[in-house]
Structure 1
């Protein structure tokens, strides 16, 4: 009988493809700087000046937060580091709060940083960190070019927390402050896992980050995966953010049922309006789910939710609040091929997020006209 041999089907692409080789930690020979210090600018963390943490809600909130929301506030979705440097090499060193753990979202989206070069309005994608996703710390070279002054934007991870981060530059080169925003006001977006960025392949593709490259204002991403449910306690904390240029409520997908939406939305609006009498408020209904084509009850639930949202906005407008608006999220992924824009029928891919940003951009710009002139 001929001797039988066995062969493993395991494929190690990092060994077979040199383009996937990881950097070796500790061998970069760079000067490491903390973005917590000037001249770096941190955006997306409304309470950083108070707490000094890469966290999206206050460490000691004025109202008790649901435990899941409090935990998810450590996810750094929407956080950004901006600066200018003439260094020919740029690198990043990161200490995460945990490892990548999701089955349907790449580690680069959960735990990675990505890099854009250029001034606001002309920021171009340059690269994404490379790291061993089984570890909680990593170093990664972002670029090696000729020395030249460059405007840098680094987007924080969407789903993991960041304990510490350092920026590496060549010794002898400088870091300068970034160009200022159009104004000191902020776009505050409250919502769900979709708002948070699930399941973008890299941070810059969350729809709030895409919009931040097109609208020169600071964006605050307050998407809480599975837990953006419109609680009044959360509304009170959100309303404490100073100088909002626009407040967006995009949490329908986490509302347990129509009754929850009927109970929470008017109160959330009331709390925000009381704190910010003149700020535009935009209520966005959720995207279409793929299974709605086959599940009439799921479709009807979305239509009922949308009705509640429209009625809540109209009730405010009938009382004289002309600065509150509704947007029908049915069209956010397109009307024909929306089922091709998600990972799992719910969470958008990069294509889905790009379509969302393309659709919302003119809506946001119209409401932010006074801030952008």
Structure 2
């Protein structure tokens, strides 16, 4: 007689590991604040002061933009909220435009938020939101300490990378003190125009997008103008970027969406020329694309990238010889290291490791290029 083996009980991993438990509703023992009110400071949205929306482009741009770009502008990539408090707990209540749906990016990066504590030069990850994939609304604790030590801490909250935020509230203990954050090192902003990689695909949580990493390291406001699949280098996007006041520099990194070498040869000079009409001396950093995972077995991909890299180098040289001495070229093929494929999800989009490496490579360039400008603005 054979012994029958019982089928294993079907349980959720959340039932097996309490560390993966999803937060329940946080109740009414918190005082909920809008980050749009003082003393909170929201950064990353250049038109926030006039439109009061978590949006990366104007709600009604004065130049025509494609519907795809208009929709992606609602994604809150690069949005940050800073404040100081002695609250023993910090939570968020979020209503998104849609739930998580991407196959190669964690919901925590697409739709979640994370928190850092410590202050300029000392930021340390403190927590990430917990919610069910697909949820459009969630409440989650980002920070909690047992008891009440009364210590005032600096907080930095990063907003979702790939969804829009229709409503956001920050929950603190009712008796907590709430203070303004430390100011940025200067009021100038780093503007980054690019593709899905710039937007943050596919970081596991918002704080690991390379623009957010660099913002923490440099203690400057970054404006993320990465539009997934739609960084085409349109002249209109250069005009909108030029509307952003007090630029420290403009980073251009849209080659991966350029549509081929011929199209890139047409759009890139025009994009730079358009921005230069408004900001003739603002530093521009041109970044060539990171390697594609298929280059080892599809030589045409490698050939195209090398062809465009040659064009970029020559363009920067020509513009410099013509009198523009505020241009810098960064070879993106070196940013991910010798094992670039190990730093991406799908051969294209970086993991957290890939974004860390990109930040490591870009940080010294940014410090050198904008150092004098930011120092004079302090």
Q: What SS does the aligned partner of 1:245 have? A: strand
Q: What SS does the aligned partner of 1:358 have? A: helix
For residues 131 and 98 of structure 2, the distance between their equivalents in structure 1, rounded to whole angstroms, comes to 14
For residues 40 and 371 of structure 1, the distance between their equivalents in structure 2, rounded to whole angstroms, comes to 27
For residues 138 and 356 of structure 1, the distance between their equivalents in structure 2, rounded to whole angstroms, comes to 31
Correspondences of 1:158-307 after superposition (within 5 Å):
158-307=161-310
Q: What SS does the aligned partner of 2:295 have? A: helix
Deviation at 1:372, TM superposition (A): 4.2
Deviation at 1:194, TM superposition (A): 0.4
Deviation at 1:9, TM superposition (A): 7.6
Aligned to 2:154: 151
Aligned to 2:30: 30
For residues 341 and 231 of structure 2, the distance between their equivalents in structure 1, rounded to whole angstroms, comes to 23
Contact 2:118 2:154 in 1 (8 A): yes
Deviation at 1:159, TM superposition (A): 0.3
Aligned to 1:345: 347
Deviation at 1:16, TM superposition (A): 1.2
Deviation at 1:134, TM superposition (A): 2.5
Aligned to 2:100: 100
Q: What SS does the aligned partner of 1:356 have? A: helix
Q: CA deviation digits over 1:159-211, x for unaligned, max 9?
A: 01100111100011121110111111100000000001100000000000000
Q: Closer, same or farther in 2 for the Cα pair 1:364/1:10, shift >3 Å?
A: farther
Contact 2:248 2:374 in 1 (8 A): no
**Moved segments of 4+, more than 2 Å:** 1-11
For residues 373 and 366 of structure 2, the distance between their equivalents in structure 1, rounded to whole angstroms, comes to 11
Deviation at 1:225, TM superposition (A): 0.3
For residues 43 and 277 of structure 2, the distance between their equivalents in structure 1, rounded to whole angstroms, comes to 25
Contact 1:114 1:156 in 2 (8 A): yes
Q: CA deviation digits over 1:47-106, x for unaligned, max 9?
A: 111211100000010101111010000010000000000111111110111000000000
Q: Aligned pair 1:366/2:368, yes or no?
A: yes
For residues 371 and 128 of structure 1, the distance between their equivalents in structure 2, rounded to whole angstroms, comes to 35
For residues 26 and 215 of structure 1, the distance between their equivalents in structure 2, rounded to whole angstroms, comes to 34
Deviation at 1:10, TM superposition (A): 4.7
Deviation at 1:311, TM superposition (A): 2.2
Contact 2:188 2:374 in 1 (8 A): no
Question: TM-score under structure 1 normalisation?
Answer: 0.97
Contact 2:195 2:253 in 1 (8 A): yes
For residues 28 and 358 of structure 1, the distance between their equivalents in structure 2, rounded to whole angstroms, comes to 43
For residues 13 and 196 of structure 1, the distance between their equivalents in structure 2, rounded to whole angstroms, comes to 31
Q: What SS does the aligned partner of 1:367 have? A: helix
Contact 1:282 1:326 in 2 (8 A): yes
Contact 1:287 1:330 in 2 (8 A): yes
Note the residue ranges of structure 1 that are not aligned, 5 or more in a row.
none
